Amino acid sequence: MTNIDQAALDGLTQRATEAAQNSYSPYSHFRVGAALRLSNGEIVTGTNVENVSYGLTICAERSALVRAVSQFGPEVRVEAIAVVNLNNAASPPCGACRQMLAEFVLPDAPVTFPAGGGARTMTFSELMPLAFEMKLK
């Protein structure tokens, strides 16, 4: 893992919790927040934004990611991630978010998320061992 200590992860979790307060989730009532620590030292947060056409919903993790790239450009890299929800439920990042994050997250980045009975922290590469890549010959 990168040299992100537990205090830094706790701070990131706090930022994710604040972001979750802004969740727009009238359909699922599942309020998610994500916070990304970037290699430039910035922290960017996101929340889930649902839509009546349910499939258009964007998760908190992808909200944060598109915000980070929009604000800081395509060279931005993510060195730690915190995900929370306000529903007291387990919520590791979904598969779609893992694939999107894979493009920008350092393999050793710690990812902390609610698991049954408390937070769990794993590296991004443990969470997403075989992301799709396109290597044209």
CB of 59 to ligand THU, least distance (A): 3
Q: Which of 42, 47, 97 is nearest to 68 (CA)?
A: 42
Binding to ligand THU (CB under 6 A) within 21-40 occurs at 25, 28, 30, 32
Structural contact between residues 128 and 99, judged by C-beta atoms closer than 8 angstroms = yes
Active-site pick, 18, 42, 61, 75? 61
| Cα distance between residue 44 and residue 128, in whole Å | 21
CB of 43 to ligand THU, least distance (A): 18
- Rounded (10°) angle between helices 95-102 and 60-72: 20
Q: Which of 19, 36, 59, 65 binds ligand THU (CB under 6 A)?
A: 59
Q: Which of 35, 44, 60, 100 binds ligand THU (CB under 6 A)?
A: 60
| Cα distance between residue 17 and residue 31, in whole Å | 9
Nearer to ligand THU, 52 or 136 (CB): 52
Q: Is 121 in the site for ligand THU (CB under 6 A)?
A: no
